[in-house]
Structure 1
Amino acid sequence: MEHTSNADLRAEADAVLARLVGDATGAARLREDQWRAIEALVVDRRRALVVQRTGWGKSAVYFVATSLLRARGSGPTVIVSPLLALMRNQVEAAARAGIHARTINSANTEEWDAVQAEIAAGEVDVLLVSPERLNNPDFRDQVLPKLSAATGLLVVDEAHCISDWGHDFRPDYRRLRTMLGDLPSGVPVLATTATANARVTADVAEQLGTGGTMDALVLRGPLDRESLSLGVLRLPDAAHRMAWLADHLDDLPGSGIVYTLTVAAAEEVTAFLRQRGHTVASYTGRTENAERQQAEEDLLANRVKALVATSALGMGFDKPDLGFVVHLGSPSSPIAYYQQVGRAGRGVAHAEVLLLPGKEDEAIWEYFSSLAFPSEELVRRTLDVLARADGPLSLPALEPLVELRRSRLETMLKVLDVDGAVRRVKGGWTATGQPWSYDAERYAWVARQRAAEQQAMREYATTTECRMEFLQRQLDDEGAKPCGRCDNCAGPRFTSGLSPAALDAARSDLGRAGVEVEPRRMWPTGLPAIGIGLKGRIPAGEQASAGRALGRLSDIGWGNRLRPLFAPQTPDAAVPDDVAQAVVGVLADWARGPGGWASGAPDAPARPVGVVTMASRSRPRLIHSLGARIAEVGRLPLLGSVEYSGDTPRLPRSNSAQRLKALDGALTVPPALASALAAAGGPVLLVDDFTETGWTLAVAARLLRKSGAHAVLPLVLAVQG
């Protein structure tokens, strides 16, 4: 390596920075802490862990270091990055500095061969890969060994994802251990994050091999964000929160992000704000990739006032002039909250951050908490199934054999893969036969940590002390002190005032009842493997028709009214009058709507000839009274109930195949009901309290159709999800 003085190297680094930030004058200068990290990587070839606030300039460190290392003959930089949005931002940023960046991720498989050829030809300066690629069999076995041998700098972005002590653990990230072990001696490594407390920092350092024995550099800076003015505004209910936002959105500076806790809420709020004349777009896990890209571009170009987003936009979106972040509902972790609000104010002097907590927040936290690491019994059962299999099992093949939903099963397998108990190969997953122990103590600690984080968010919303200082202390920032800007330090900047018109509109919108319930049309794969002789398409003559629900449990309208009805401590009772009246309204709209039996359309179905209820051990009065009210108002006979043939089955909160296994043979149509169906000779309404997966309704509808019902129209109070 050609000798260069540190002064000359610093000047060279500043010149790269100027190109990166588009400073034609060349006056841009690295801050001392940025230079210290770059010097460690380029001169000393060390491993460094950088924990610095959002907007500090972590990407400048690795792009400048890349340019300097490439000029000295090093191989390409490999950046492991969690989100496609971040990759798109970074490819564009690198190009400004004359750095050629390419990506390998699930969205550009058709480009992989060309990218690998460019790498082999030395034409790629930066390769961005998603953590999921690290354990893709082809990539892991064919690409990764060559890439590790050629890498000049390894960058682990959003490194807190490595740690299951943190708020956003991703098992794929722990594959980096393998890549680190394969790196040639002297290859520098940079890990970066803005959201790691002391425990997570220590864990990440250990996993990256950057512990004390390797003389790593840990750069941890103050986490105060001087541009952010934090505040909390407590409003009576969801209608007031939506109305306030509709009235005050244009008062917020520039463009920004409105975060919600669920996809349903994001879509609901987007629709309402558009009705009130605001230019906004929805951004969730259900948004198609092309639509996501368009939404990002519209926000970057200030063509929309806000994106209404879930945590799908929590990391990886870089808009320096983002003027505000509003949360409709409180995240369950102050660390996650700090990360999300950190999107704002990176390149402007002032940005508004406002939390509008809701009564439904805790129910949503509880739901997501239920998706924690499975019990040892379920893990052992999965390992046993894999051990007895003749070959690799794909997720669709494995799912029916264990009581876990697809996403939770996949996450569990990734953890087991890192632990060495299973291995992902072509065709699926296999057991390695290696000894494995269930770390119950660690999983219990993580659960307690989640509970502590939830309590911290309750305290954040109610504290009379400095809010920024509160968040900094949650991240173990030793420099935490009062900010002088938040509503507690400087006084509230927003009042709870809103217009009657907006409130009336919000109440009307949230009070609008009715959600379509899509029927199941295909049996899940793998049923024959568990002794159920069903597969393929459900015959048309055995299917339920499209149904209706009063609301979703996850929405902020009827969901808030319905959730207490289904709480474990709520005693079974007759359906409340307001709920019954709303269901009757849904029924009337359904009948008169497009394709409804009262619509007058030429192909409209026949009017229902009776009402059938579902048996229930937990809420029989609720369901029977609802069925009776519908029968009375609709002047229909209450024909009877679909009953259980024995004990009520325990329906696992897992995958579809296991639910059907529990339901197999469990439901029956009593003779009296079968006779009534045959005599009635028409469609029936099937009434139940709620549906989560649709399989109980599908099995009951199949039985009713076989017993003579011409069609089965499900009508339930709530949809889970």
Structure 2
Amino acid sequence: MSTAPTTDVREAAEAHLRALVGPAGGDDVRLRDDQWRAIEALAVERRRALVVQRTGWGKSAVYFVATLLLREQGAGPTVIVSPLLALMRNQIAAAERAGIRAVTINSTNSESWDPIHESIRNGEVDVLLVSPERLNNPGFRDEVLPRLAATCGLLVVDEAHCISDWGHDFRPDYRRLRTLLGELPDGIPVLATTATANQRVTDDVAEQLGRDVLVLRGSLDRESLRLGVVRLRTAEQRLAWLADHLSEQPGSGIVYCLTVAATQEIADYLRSRGHDVAAYSGQTEQTERLALEEALAAGRIKALIATSALGMGFDATLGFVVNMGAPQSPVAYYQQVGRAGRGSNLPPKGATVVLLPATEDRDIWAYFGSLSFPPEDQVRQTLDVLATEGPLGTPALETRVELGRSRLEQMLKVLDVDGAVRRIKGGWEATGRPWSYDAERYERVKQAREREQQAMLDYLATDRCRMRYLREQLDDPEATDCGRCDNCGGLQLDTSVSEAAVEEAGARLARPGVAIEPRKMWPTALPTMGIDLKGKIGEGAEEGRAIARLTDLGHGQALRALLRPDAPDGPVPVPLVRAVLTVLDDWQPSVDAIVVVESLSRPTLTEDLAQGLSRRLGVPVVGHWAIVDPDVAPGQGAMNSAQRVAAAGRRSSLQADIEPGARVLLVDDQVVTGWTLTLAARAIRQAGAAAVLPLTLAVQS
């Protein structure tokens, strides 16, 4: 432990802070008392600390200054566990300003891992940033992590709310930090930071940090933000409002959407109205993401139309955030709006934050809620398969359990932390340790999520101060009225929309037509299920068409109502008939015959669609992809590709008279996984058809 007088250490700390801030900060830059208290706990007292402070408070300054002090005392490198690559990039740039040698190990720089490990061994690294997923990479976990745990000078857990399954953004990989914390030698300080933790999450994280934890919670007020809600009845009105009022928003900013499809749809529309915007999501290619982040930070574009993939750690001076649709909780919303109002070049009145809620928000929340931890029978089946057939890679395991890839991997991560399975090179193995399904815990978390969703709805309806409401949701004891939001009178939002904009938005949303991309490759490991299909799909479908995605703003709402599980069967509604006709006029498929995918749940709907198409196109319905084994339930196996191919292949077969060389229109109500259409198209091609063109009412995502 350092024996230097506290005043001397603080003076050194503030000198490091000035180097970190750079010349723009001036010579009078000083640590705030709460920042110094955190640094003192780490660099002088060698304690563990949890800092819950608003975005922009200066949490990164705490751990960079503490790093410099500890390195001067001969301590090892700081290890920062950080969830997002954008955060890592910003932190490395900040560290370099203060002469800190910072490197990162993540999924995008695998070619640099060996040189980085060598630099760490040689003492040439001050800060190592790693993603939480690295903590459970077998090579990193078994070879690198023990050495880091023994030699690091400071462990930093950024966005620490991710540790807690009570938090709005729980990530199973973060739970491995419990093990790492337990393996640290005495005297290694630990800092956990977050801007979005209520008291329950704070208590949970502090308990996991262990002994003698200093908890510093500050005011969560964001003095630079003015919050408001604009409630408009239709998607056309909301799009029109955005097109009419986007240019009025100060500076550059983010328009958050709940789905990837919405980012693309809204960005396309706004560009057609002359706005300089771009779509951004987890599906955006990495180099493009970097370029878009830099363009937004530099003010070269007005807005990124983004999912929450542009979230934690994106550090720029932004003048506004608009949410097209409400996040699932006030805590998640507080974090998103925290992207605005940072930096020194803000407008005099601060940044503007506007939420435009939609009726379909709850449908989207329900979809994300369906991806929660699987029921016990599916978990037990996975453990049994690994115990009897393992070790297995995820693709092979996917053929044996009815879970999609992402949900299966999330479950395995939880089981890994619980000690029931272990990740190894090439896959997973069962440990044989006893494991119990904590149904009570999962139910508590589910109920907490439902309470958070209701709290979000209450935020929309409240006539109280909006910032105070968010702060109270985060258990901020200092929450008071802000005087800046629409309810306090500090923000006046024009809710008008021009008729021309509404008509144009309506025309854009009403224009149906989504491409159905054909499957290109068979799922891996199908031969292990006795299905002789592998590699490239040789006899597949052509590109097809659907009216819209179920998540789309325009026809999506009508399609969701039509195709919900409890909806009655019946003919295609007239507005959707018109949409199908528009799709046909735009697409103009050249076909000779129609084959219908038979449905037990919606036989009238699919037959009515096929017969209407037959009359319109003047070609006959020549048969069905018919159900031959009704014991295979509709949608069985839909959670992963291999299981779906197996189930769909057992359930149906082709019963149709196909003329050699015919071009066939393959008709179904919706595309969920695409494997039913793929198998049906293969059978139709093998029966002699020259081409198969799918047409459905909807695409699920």
Query: Is 2:251 the counterpart of 1:254?
Result: yes
Q: Deviations over 1:526-578 (max 9, x none)?
A: 112223222222333xx222111111111212212211111233211110112
Alignment of 1:649 onto 2:632: yes
Instruction: Tell me how far apart the structure 2 counterparts of residues 586 and 117 of structure 1 sit (CA, whole Å).
Output: 59
SS at match of 2:698: strand
Tell me the TM-score normalised to structure 1 length: 0.94
Pick aligned residue for 1:683 from 663, 666, 678 = 663
Residue 698 in structure 1 maps to residue 681 in structure 2:
no
Which residue of structure 2 aligns with residue 50 of structure 1? 51
Question: 2:691 is matched with which residue?
Answer: 711
**Contact 1:705–1:711 (CA under 8 A) maintained in structure 2:** yes
- Secondary structure of 1:703's partner? helix
Write the letter of the residue equivalent to 2:628: S
* Aligned-partner Cα distance in 2 for 1:25–1:290: 35
Tell me the equivalent position of 2:528: 529
Distance across 1 between alignment mates of 2:374 and 2:325: 27
Whether 1:451 aligns to 2:450 is yes
Aligned to 1:602: none
In structure 1, the partner of 2:156 is 155
- Aligned counterpart, 1:569: 566
Contact preservation (8 Å) 2:483, 2:489: yes
Identify which of 331, 336, 352 aligns with 2:332: 336
Q: Separation in 2 of the partners of 1:449 and 1:358?
A: 22
Aligned to 2:12: 12
CA distance in 1, matches of 2:397, 2:16: 51
Q: Retained in 2: the 8 A contact 1:15–1:26?
A: no
Alignment check: 8 A CA contact 1:617 1:648 kept: no
Residues 661-670 or 451-460, more deviating: 661-670
Contact map agreement 2:572 2:608 (CA 8 A) in 1? yes
Q: Does 1:668 align with 2:669?
A: no
Superposition deviation, residue 648 in structure 1:
5.7
Counterpart in the other structure of 1:600: none
Contact in 2 for aligned 1:176/1:208 (Cα 8 Å): no
Overall identity of the aligned pairs, in %: 62
Q: Which residue of 2 aligns with 1:375?
A: 375
Whole-angstrom CA distance in 1 between matches of 2:37 and 2:125: 26
Task: Verify: 1:303 aligned to 2:305, yes or no.
Answer: no
Q: What letter is aligned with 1:206?
A: E
CA-CA distance at 1:709 after TM superposition: 3.0
How many residues in Structure 1 have an aligned counterpart in Structure 2?
694
- The CA distance in 2 between the partners of 1:440 and 1:87, in whole Å, is 36
Distance 1:221 1:708 in 2: 71
Stretch of structure 1 that moved more, 19-28 or 438-447: 19-28
Instruction: Tell whether the 8 Å contact from 2:228 to 2:486 is kept in structure 1 after alignment.
Output: yes
Separation of aligned partners in 2, 1:222 and 1:326: 24
Name which of structure 1's ranges 361-370 and 23-32 shifts more when overlaid on structure 2: 23-32
Match of 2:600 among 610, 614, 617: 617
Alpha-carbon distance in structure 1 between the residues aligned to 2:212 and 2:237: 55
- Return the alpha-carbon distance in structure 2 between the equivalents of residues 707 and 111 of structure 1: 52
Deviations 1:192-219 (A, max 9, x none): 011111111121122222xxxx221011
- 1:692 Cα deviation (Å)? 1.1
Describe how 1:191-270 pairs up with structure 2 within 5 A: 191-209=192-210, 214-270=211-267
Provide the secondary structure at the position in 2 that maps to 1:551: strand
What per-residue deviation string (whole Å, max 9, x for no partner) do you get for residues 479-498 of structure 1? Answer: 22211111111165112212
Which residue in 1 is equivalent to 2:426? 427
In the alignment, which residue of structure 2 is the partner of 1:586?
583
Partner AA of 1:429 in structure 2: W
1:114-156 Cα deviation digits (max 9, x unpaired): 2122222222111101111111111111111111111000000
**What letter corresponds to residue 690 of structure 1 in structure 2?**
Q
Contact 1:20 1:96 in 2 (8 A): yes
1:68 corresponds to which residue?
69
Q: CA deviation at 1:684?
A: 1.6
The residue that corresponds to 2:618 in the other structure is: 635
- 5+ long unaligned stretches in structure 1: 592-596, 598-606
Question: Which residue in the other structure is 1:186 paired with?
Answer: 187
Q: Which amino acid aligns with 2:340?
A: A
Moved more, 366-375 or 172-181: 172-181
Question: Under a length normalisation based on structure 2, what TM-score does the superposition of the two structures give?
Answer: 0.97
SS of corresponding position for 2:469: helix
CA distance, structure 2, for counterparts of residue 635 and residue 491 of structure 1:
63
Contact 1:466 1:483 in 2 (8 A): yes
AA partner of residue 665 (structure 2)? L
One-letter amino acid of the structure 2 residue matched with residue 653 of structure 1: A
Q: Is the 1:234–1:356 Cα contact (8 Å) retained in structure 2? A: yes
Query: Whole-Å Cα distance in 1 between the matches of residues 625 and 46 of structure 2?
Result: 71
Q: How does 1:398-409 map to 2 (within 5 A)?
A: 398-409=397-408
Give the letter aligned to residue 320 of structure 2.
Answer: F
Q: What is the letter of the counterpart of residue 355 of structure 2?
A: L
- Is the 2:227–2:491 Cα contact (8 Å) retained in structure 1? no
Q: Which residue pairs with 1:601 in the alignment?
A: none
Q: Tell me the SS of whatever aligns to 2:630.
A: coil
- What is aligned with 1:418? 417
